[in-house]
Structure 1
């Protein structure tokens, strides 16, 4: 439960940073960012392993870069399901995917250094 909360906050921060840096990504409130972060965490928990398994051959061919495409699709899905978040195109959904990836790497590095 604690881990889901931290992942939700990390995702929400990624959506907030992306909406601040790029005006095409609109975020109506912090509540919308938290909701989108929570949805992304839940969607990634259940749907991402299945998509990674299905796309394993293409992921091997692209040396894992197709995972970024899957993350972008999941971000587009969470933006579609969130009322206060608007991401117009795949290109603009790629930006939060990269930001959230980097924030998650920082989060995992901090957790590993604590133990």
Structure 2
């Protein structure tokens, strides 16, 4: 439960970074970013697998590049459900999810190094073989 909440917080902070970097992505408040993070998680969990299967021929033909379009579509779709979060324009559609991924990865690694127990990366003595 705590891990899911922290993941949503990291994604919300990453969305705020995307808002600063990518023109066309607009997030009004931190609460909207938090709700958008949950919406992105739901869309990526429920709709994205179906889109990936349906677009598999195009993804194979384009050597995987069409997956960027699928990610953008999911990003945009999540923005439809959240007031205060909007994605407009092809630059935001394509680059928003890429910057979101980089920002989330950076924040997850940063928090994992600073607070090992916070991100679920703690190790027990049994795992270390001691």
Q: Shorter-normalised TM-score: what interval?
A: 0.7 to 0.9
SS at match of 2:99: helix
* Matching residue of 1:89: 89
* Matching residue of 1:76: 76
* Matching residue of 1:54: 54
Q: 1:53 to 1:23 in 2, by over 3 A?
A: closer
CA RMSD, Structure 1 to Structure 2 (Å): 2.4
Give the count of matched residue pairs: 113
TM-score (norm 2): 0.72
* More helix, by proportion: 1
- Measured in 1, the distance between the counterparts of 2:38 and 2:25 equals 18
Q: Is the 8 A contact 2:24 2:89 kept in 1?
A: no
SS at match of 1:63: coil
| Structure 1: gaps of 5 or more residues | none
Q: Is the 8 A contact 2:22 2:96 kept in 1?
A: no
* Matching residue of 2:25: 25
Tell me which moved more, 90-99 or 79-88: 90-99
Deviation at 1:93, TM superposition (A): 2.2
Larger C-alpha radius of gyration, 1 or 2? 2
* Matching residue of 2:115: none
TM-score (norm 1): 0.79
